[in-house]
Amino acid sequence: MRTPRSALVALATLIPLVAAVGCGGPSTQNDVSTYPAKGRTITLIVPYDAGGAGDIGARLLKPYLEKEIGTNIEVVNRPGAGSQVGVSALARAKNDGYTIGFTHLPATIATYLDPARKADFERASLEPVAMYVTDPTALAVSADSPYRTLDDLVRAAKAKPGKVTVTDSGILSDGNIACLRLEEMTGVKFAVVHGGGGAETLADVLGHHTDVGNLNLSGNTAELVRSGKIRLLAIFDKKEDPHFPGVKTGRDEGYPIEVATSRAISAPKGTPKPIVDKISAAIERAMQDPEFQKKATASGLRLSYLDPQQLDTYWSGMEKQVRPLITLAKKG
């Protein structure tokens, strides 16, 4: 069931549309030197509900990106089906550089790789523009859990196959992928519970309804760790995180897994390369604005810019990780 969204959003979409029609004139698309054309608005599709973490992050960036790119940006929420609806709209949009959008990874990858989802887009439908936020996956337990390390967990799962419960935010979410990789590496079997997202997982961990929960590091995770309510067994990242002192990476504990939920920005396929580069550079500059950085840090955003080339490489790596897990995840 979808939640109601705002008529204000409708208005916000309509106004630039009318403006665009009004300012018609001869089209200067694909001309990089005049991009963005004066008075033309860039649409930024957010494939999630207004007010979700992804949306707030986008709205935070908007004014700074507007300043750097030199025109108005409209954030348009096209939520539904775990981002499938919005990404599909992005892939179908005109590739003139006036529509860009968020393609969260691995959600986008899992959508087009899974034949059951019947997605009408593939990797080639999208042009990577920039990475905005990368939020590593971590395994969390309640403070009184007997597990203190990843090894404890694996040993317990070996002793009671299929009995240790692990909650994630949905099938083929980053947490699910971490868990499947761990099963693959060690041969253990968890009882995987597909939940509805971070808040639900947190409630399940704190209420002892699950043995382990997959959480991301943004939001109030650090606060909960600091208060001693939950403990992180491992973070599936390259290196240790200064906000989580003493928490080892998966690699350090002998399980070299790197998974995150990442907010990548893409454009429809065929958007001219120079325009893509121009947008990407503007995003990079906006992300370096000290005032923006202060607000982003306060909101718990883990900024991590990648240029189009680097994002493409990251995307390939993630896709390589996800592809073999599709059928495995369905087996449950």
Which positions from 197 through 256 interact with another protein, judged by CB under 8 A?
199-200, 202-204, 206-207, 209-210, 219-220, 222-224, 226-227, 229
**Does residue number 122 form part of the binding site for another protein (CB under 8 A)?**
no
Name the phi and psi angles at 3, rounded to 5: -95, 150
1 binds another protein (CB under 8 A): yes
Is residue 324 part of the contact set for another protein (CB under 8 A)? no
Between 36 and 300, name the residue whose CB sits nearer to another protein. Answer: 300
Cβ(87)–Cβ(101) below 8 Å? yes
| Residue 328 found at the interface with another protein (CB under 8 A) | no
- When binding is defined by CB under 8 A, the residue of 68, 71, 85, 185 that contacts another protein is 85
Measured from the CB atom, the residue of 59 and 248 that comes closer to another protein is 59
Q: How far is Cα 121 from Cα 84, in angstroms, rounded to an integer?
A: 9
Shortest CB 240 distance to another protein, Å: 21
Contact 230, 208 (CB under 8 A): no
Within its chain, how far is the Cα of 55 from the centroid?
A: 11
| Integer Cα distance of 141 and 231 in angstroms | 5
Tell me how far, at minimum, the Cβ of 205 lies from another protein, in Å.
Answer: 10
Name which of 245, 246, 257 is nearest 214 in CA terms.
257
Q: Which of 43, 125, 73, 97 is nearest to 271 (CA)?
A: 97
| Alpha-carbon span 322 to 173, nearest angstrom | 10
Find the shortest distance in angstroms from Cβ 225 to another protein: 9
With respect to another protein, which residue has the nearer C-beta, 13 or 186? 13
Residues 175-194 that bind another protein (CB under 8 A): 191-194
To the nearest whole angstrom, how small is the minimum distance from the Cβ of residue 130 to another protein?
21
Region from 22-30, 112-120, 124-132, 239-247 binding another protein, contact rule CB under 8 A: 112-120
Q: Is 5 in the site for another protein (CB under 8 A)?
A: yes
Pick one of 50, 69, 91, 311: the residue that binds another protein (CB under 8 A): 50
Choice between 73 and 276, CB closer to another protein: 73
Scanning 4-12, 129-137, 145-153, 271-279 for contacts with another protein by CB under 8 A, the matching segment is: 4-12
Beta carbon nearer to another protein, 55 or 96: 55
State how far the Cα of 74 lies from the Cα of 12, in Å rounded to an integer: 7
Give the whole-angstrom CA distance, residue 302 versus residue 74.
23
Q: What is the length of the chain?
A: 332
Query: Which is nearer to another protein, 67 or 238 (by Cβ)?
Result: 67
Site residues for another protein, 274-313, by CB under 8 A, read 295, 298-300
Question: According to the binding rule CB under 8 A, does residue 118 interact with another protein?
Answer: yes
- The phi-psi region of residue 130 (left if phi > 0; otherwise alpha if psi is between -120 and 50; otherwise beta) is beta
Q: Which stretch binds another protein (CB under 8 A): 27-35, 51-59, 246-254, 279-287?
A: 51-59
Q: How far is the CB of 308 from another protein (least distance, A)?
A: 27
Alpha carbon of residue 63 to chain centroid: 21
Residue in 21, 22, 24, 116 binding another protein, rule: CB under 8 A: 116
Give 67 or 330: the residue with its C-beta nearer to another protein.
330
Residue closer to another protein by CB (options 171, 185) is 171
